[in-house]
Amino acid sequence: MSELLPLLLFVGAVVVLLMGYSVAFSLAGTGLLFAAIGSFTGHFDPSFLEAVPNRLFGTMNNETLIAVPLFVFMGVMLERSRIAEELLDAMALLFGPMRGGLGISVTLVGMLLAASTGIVGATVVTMGLLSLPTMLRRGYDPKVAAGTICASGTLGQIIPPSIVLVLLGDVISSAYQQAQIDQGIFSPETVTVGDLFLGALLPGLMLVLAYMIYLVFKAITQPDTVPAIPQAEREAVENLGGRLLKALVPPILLIGLVLGSILGGLATPTEAASVGAVGAILLSIFRRSFNLTVLKQVMKSTTEVSSMVFIILVGASIFSLVFRGYGGDDLVRDFLTDLPGGMVGAMVVVMLVIFLLGFFLDFIEITFVVVPIVAPILLAMGLDPVWLGIMFALNLQTSFLTPPFGFALFYLRGVAPENVSTMQIYRGVIPFILIQLAMLALLAAWPSLATWLPEVVYG
């Protein structure tokens, strides 16, 4: 019976979440309920809960996590600056003469927004509101349009500075140190958020390129599904070069400052995030879209998102302590180490579990609840921490796209016109899911795609 309790705890938390209750309170409430039951039956030592204040204090003092509200502020401020709208208009005119050009523009803008905001939901909704009506009006197949927007919107999972990578970097760093201490290494090596940013850069850019190659292929094989912008409409636009410079240079400069300072070792992710937040304010002032009302809205949205992240972290801390108090980490370790295929078998099972959980749980819950349990075990088997983090991020991105429960599909369904059916959205993302799976397979076969750049830059 005692061996079943950790499993029942996990299943109970998922059931409560599926009932629609708040994530943070579901995790904390389920954990405390099972702690009370275990204390009453003698299966749980309540002294485990004494570690909760220390964990919360450690979270409050974690400088890396300060980057989260700063990056969120940067993203929301850029969204309020109408940067996406101007970028999309300019890029569409640039690539308009070619079939599939509007789809390529959406992909590139999605990449830039991902690098600016790092928030999947915000990017999908923004692109859905701005791009989908335009693509449908130009005669794009609804399936192609919906698939392109969903896939481009999820690039925020893997293109730095991603909120996912910030949170994963912090968790992977702790897991890597724990794995080394468990192996008797008491001067452990560290892995940073900057390592994950560098590791994600090459796979993320390859993914963007693969999306664009698919759209070019679609333009060659089924040209009517991705028509070009009419010549007369393009010729009516004045000063295209000036519009391109105004739309592209400021956000690219800001992204370059943020990423360049991290990758060049000039600033920590938290310091770079503060640069990004200030830069977003200056960019908003430059575009004459900044006022006290906008600032109030941005601060309110930033507070809401950041509060959600940190209250989930509190709930996840309580849940994971109770899970460990029941011996759940030992149970998971024994299960993974006894699997046929050793390290490969364990990795396949973990990736499958995370993929399936991505249908029901957001990346924050998976990062704070599942990754701390499985990552130390996998890292102790000899896996590279940067490669493991990027594999997790790509896997979550794929599950966000996969029907019928992918989060990106729900985000787009919420803003799509009624004449775009849910089935068209589902069918539209299938080619991009195949691209994602191919990228996962490439990264699994050649881990150096994720580890080469960090080794070159940081040695």
Q: What is the pLDDT of residue 446?
A: 92
In Å, how far are 56, 77, 305, 362 from 59, measured between CA atoms? 5, 26, 17, 20
CA atoms within 13 A on the CB side of 369: 32
pLDDT in tens, the chain (459 residues): 566 777 888 788 878 877 777 777 888 888 888 888 888 887 778 777 777 788 778 777 777 778 778 888 887 787 777 776 777 777 777 776 778 888 888 888 888 777 665 566 667 777 787 778 878 887 888 898 889 988 888 887 788 877 788 888 888 888 888 888 777 776 777 788 888 888 888 999 999 999 999 999 988 888 888 887 766 665 555 566 666 777 777 777 887 888 788 777 787 778 888 888 888 888 888 877 788 888 888 888 888 878 877 888 888 888 888 888 887 777 777 777 777 877 888 888 888 888 888 776 777 778 888 888 888 888 888 888 999 999 998 988 888 888 877 778 877 887 788 888 888 888 889 999 999 999 999 999 999 999 898 888 776
Residue 117, pLDDT score: 58
Over the stretch 308-343, which tens digit does the pLDDT of each residue have?
Answer: 778 888 888 888 888 888 877 777 777 777 778 778
> What is the predicted pLDDT for the residue at 119?
61
Q: Which amino acid is at 400?
A: F
Cα–Cα distance between 183 and 173 in angstroms, integer? 16
Residue 236, classified by CB atoms within 10 Å of its CB into exposed (0-12), middle (13-18) or buried (19+), is exposed
What is the structure's pLDDT at 120?
61
Tens of pLDDT, residue by residue over 410-422, are 778 877 888 888 8
Q: What string of H, E and C letters represents the secondary structure of the chain?
A: CCCHHHHHHHHHHHHHHHCCCCHHHHHHHHHHHHHHHHHHHCCCCHHHHHHHHHHHHHHHCCCHHHHHHHHHHHHHHHHHCCHHHHHHHHHHHHHCCCCCHHHHHHHHHHHHHHHHHCCHHHHHHHHHHHHHHHHHHCCCCHHHHHHHHHHHHHHHHCCCCCHHHHHHHHHHHHHHHHHHHHCCCCCCCCCCHHHHHHHHHHHHHHHHHHHHHHHHHHHHHCHHHCCCCCHHHHHCCCCHHHHHHHHHHHHHHHHHHHHHHHHCCCCCHHHHHHHHHHHHHHHHHHCCCCCHHHHHHHHHHHHHHHHHHHHHHHHHHHHHHHHHHCCHHHHHHHHHHCCCCHHHHHHHHHHHHHHHHCCCCCHHHHHHHHHHHHHHHHHHCCCCHHHHHHHHHHHHHHHHHCCCCCHHHHHHHHHCCCCCCHHHHHHHHHHHHHHHHHHHHHHHHCCHHHHHHHHHHHC
pLDDT attached to residue 109: 81
pLDDT for position 237: 57
The reported pLDDT for the residue numbered 437 is 92
pTM to 2 decimal places: 0.82
Q: Residue 223, preceding bond cis, omega within 30 degrees?
A: no
Report the pLDDT value the prediction gives residue 235, as an integer from 0 to 100.
58
At residue 118, the pLDDT reads: 57
Give the C-alpha separation, 389 to 165, whole Å: 8
